[in-house]
Amino acid sequence: MEKAAVSIEDTFYILATDSTADSISRVLKESDTFAVFDRHGDIQATGSGQEGLYHEGTRFLSHLLFKLDNARPFLLSSVVQLDNLLFDVNLTNPDVYRAGQVILPRGTLHIRRTKALEKSTCHETISFMNYGLSRVEVRFSLEVDADFADVFEVRGLTRLQRGTRSDSIINSEQLCFAYHGLDGVLRRTVIHWDPAPQQILPTKLSFVLALAPKQEKDVRLIFGCELGQQPDMPRGSERVMSARFVARKLDAQGCQLETSSDEFNRWIHRSTADLRMMFTPTQYGPYPYAGVPWFSTPFGRDGIITALEYLWVDPQIARGVLGYLAAMQATTLDPERDAEPGKILHETRKGEMAALREIPFDRYYGSVDATPLFVMLAGAYFEATRDLDFIKSIWRHIELALSWMERFGDRDGDGFIEYGRYSTNGLVQQGWKDSWDSVSHRDGSLAQAPIALCEVQGYAYAALMAASSIAIALGNQTEANRLVERASLLKKKFREYFWCPESSTYALALDGEKRQCGVKTSNAGHCLYAGIADAEHARHVVRALIHDSSFSGWGIRTLAVSEARFNPMSYHNGSIWPHDNALIASGLARYGYTSNALQILNGLFEASLFVEYRLPELFCGFYRCEGAGPIPYPLACSPQAWSAASVFMLLKAVLGINLNADAARLSFLRPMLPDYLAEVRLNNLQIGAGVVDAVIHQGKPGATVEITRCQGHVEVVTEP
């Protein structure tokens, strides 16, 4: 029986003809350059095709295969060091035959490949150590190639026309691949070496080394990504020392966390290292790029949520995000970019397809929630730091965002923020669950635009309250009062239109006819985080979220098992997202359900044990099985910034941490610790101009707080 093809109503759906879940990739990132290798340190763009060396949205190296006498060496170990600066691979030789004779018994050579990124360049050192008793001649080769594919081509988009790839340029010092893009940009991959190969072919470098017993020799390679000019190429060791200095400087300016559990510490340290890798310098400060490989670029929503998760650890990340997004704020109507005055950026891309507008993401604004989240982040940053000078510098951008919420965001004047795309090439769904089928009714039918999501109304409420506090600090009491009135009216209408008595939770959304999408989703938990829920409704929402139809044992699913579109392997209809769970846990704690927030922390911590302490973008929403880990999602980004930052928001939630720089007050509201943590130590926790060191001890039923250092005038309050 022939089956009809399934219609995927999403231009930017990531095609998957092969799974990455059963392969282990190694990732390096530095600024606008990132690389994805296999465990051997090679690049073989087969299957899902994500491996490669990328710079500014283009893959500059699509094939890199190391062979020893035409065979791959045996893998001993493969690890990216904890600071994410160096990829270290240990290999050894198989039995090497020549003319029917074993001339190199297996295990004679130790081969070490180390890789690091710096300034659009990948540095590699291949070290050979001869542990044999006689002199050996080592013959090895590197197959190389560059396809100059745009990252959206790698994701599966087909282009009608491409630029021109030139023949390889070969001389004694370098091998060069060149591509003349349709955007008029010349992109070149330039490979340098030391010592020189014995033979240089258009896609292959062949080397011969002679090694005496116990002798070691190195071969150094540099892979440069050029956009019209030659990059600065410092030696790899210089790059690592420089980057480690920067990493130490970043660590020193934030709060340091340590616990009594080695495994929990590994989760914290891996998450910290991943965030340091994703933090990318801009003229406004560090900005967390969203995720590798598909989202290694600034995203408005992702950057804001990452900054909110990490705010109590290091508020300077929030400042960088606010400054960058203020500069990128839309000022005009541009339907093809879904842009309206005051709207905050969804994403921005570099690369040939973005430059040619084959995709709308050169600067794209199709995000309904980034604008209220921007105002929320500004309020949270100000509350934690009392940095009034900076807030003054972005106040006009906050006002523009508030104006967008009132004028453009509320399309029909009913008091709610709705979305529907204007761009024919833009995103159909514009909340955080932005896959095409993520907003539906109980019968599984898709909601039609304009759509008002429940969590967006919560963000709008929190934004209005945050802006009111800022207005008071700026001496504008009249504006503050107006904003509070808007917030109060929104909260009242939200209760009336979004509550679903039959499912005892908030509707996912209102569709274009103002009908409730009465499905049980994780979105309702964001309403707790934003504070728009009243206490009675919050109690029912919590019960729905922790019910086993929503809570899998690892975390809360995006869509409950009971719903028509539930699929544990879907992107947004049954999967589990760490950042989603962190926001929900924060909301649970806000309403006094800290023990339930602890359930989420426990589930995600235990999930981290199965994924080398690096939580991916998402994983499948199957029920937890004893003795088995969470089931991977085939195309999840890893690392992902807001997943890496989730541990910090989860800890903040269960410890009840609240920073109020205006009152110079640090509060611990109903702190709790899981059974496996005897204590948590916080060093260099900043509250405005003050600094506190604290130790939180396990207790029954809650936790106790000991202050070991208090610098500056800070009041510490603990509510049992």
d(CA 338, CA 638): 29
Place of tokens 């005892």: 504
Closest CA to 561 of 534, 522, 587, 591: 522
Tell me, yes or no, whether 488 and 368 share the same domain: yes
CA–chain centroid gap for 84, Å, is 15
Run of H or E residues at 612: none
Strands 101-104, 96-98: pairing is: antiparallel
Tell me, yes or no, whether 683 and 651 share the same domain: no
Tell me, yes or no, whether 217 and 313 share the same domain: no
Tell me, yes or no, whether 324 and 226 share the same domain: no
Place of tokens 């009971």: 562
pLDDT at 10: 56
End of a domain among 236, 267, 299?
A: 236
- Domain CATH code at residue 72: 2.70.98.40
Q: Is 468 a domain residue?
A: yes
Run of H or E residues at 40: none
pLDDT at 533: 98
pLDDT at 45: 78
pLDDT at 21: 46
Domain extent at residue 605: 258-655
Q: Is 20 a domain residue?
A: no
Tell me, yes or no, whether 119 and 232 share the same domain: yes
Tell me, yes or no, whether 523 and 623 share the same domain: yes
Q: Transcribe 90-153 into DSSP letters.
A: EEE---EEETTEEEE-TTSEEEEEEEEEETTEEEEEEEEEE-SSS-EEEEEEEEEE----BHHH
Q: Is 4 a domain residue?
A: no
Instruction: List, in order, residues 6 or more apart from 133 with CB less than 8 Å away.
Output: 213
Tell me, yes or no, whether 342 and 305 share the same domain: yes
Tell me, yes or no, whether 580 and 684 share the same domain: no
d(CA 149, CA 159): 10
Q: Angle, to 10 degrees, between the axis of helix 535-546 and the axis of helix 523-530?
A: 140
Give the pair of three-digit tokens for residue 412: 């029909």
pLDDT at 425: 87
Strands 715-719, 665-669: pairing is: parallel
Q: Is 413 left (phi over 0), alpha (psi -120 to 50) or beta?
A: left
- Domain CATH code at residue 495: 1.50.10.10
Tell me, yes or no, whether 692 and 632 share the same domain: no
Tell me, yes or no, whether 337 and 300 share the same domain: yes
Q: Is 253 a domain residue?
A: no
Q: Is 212 left (phi over 0), alpha (psi -120 to 50) or beta?
A: beta
Tell me, yes or no, whether 275 and 415 share the same domain: yes
Q: What's the domain count of the chain? A: 3
Convert 376-401 to b/e letters by CB count within 10 Å (16 or more is b).
bbbbbbbbbbbbeeebeebbebbebb
Q: Is 301 a domain residue?
A: yes
Instruction: List, in order, residues 6 or more apart from 259 with CB less than 8 Å away.
Output: 265, 268, 677, 679, 680, 681
DSSP code, position 336: G
Q: Is 250 a domain residue?
A: no
Q: Give the Cα-Cα-Cα angle 542, 544, 547 (nearest 5 degrees).
A: 105
pLDDT at 104: 87
Q: Is 8 a domain residue?
A: no
315 upstream amide cis, omega within 30 of 0? no
Q: Give the Cα-Cα-Cα angle 57, 86, 270 (nearest 5 degrees).
A: 90
Q: Transcribe 549-604 into DSSP letters.
A: TTB-SSSBBSB-TTSTT--TTSSSSS-B-HHHHHHHHHHHHHTT-HHHHHHHHHHH
Q: Which amino acid appears at position 267 of this protein?
A: W
Q: pTM above the 0.85 mark? A: yes
Convert 650-685 to b/e letters by CB count within 10 Å (16 or more is b).
bbbbbbbbbbbbeebbbbbbbbbbeeebebbebbbb
Q: Is 119 a domain residue?
A: yes
Query: Residues in the chain with pLDDT < 70?
Result: 1-23, 46-48, 229-252
pLDDT tens by residue, 608-647? 999 999 999 999 999 999 989 999 998 899 999 999 999 9
Return the C-alpha torsion angle 398, 400, 401, 403, nearest 10.
Answer: 120
End of a domain among 655, 683, 706?
A: 655
End of a domain among 203, 236, 269?
A: 236
Tell me, yes or no, whether 148 and 35 share the same domain: yes
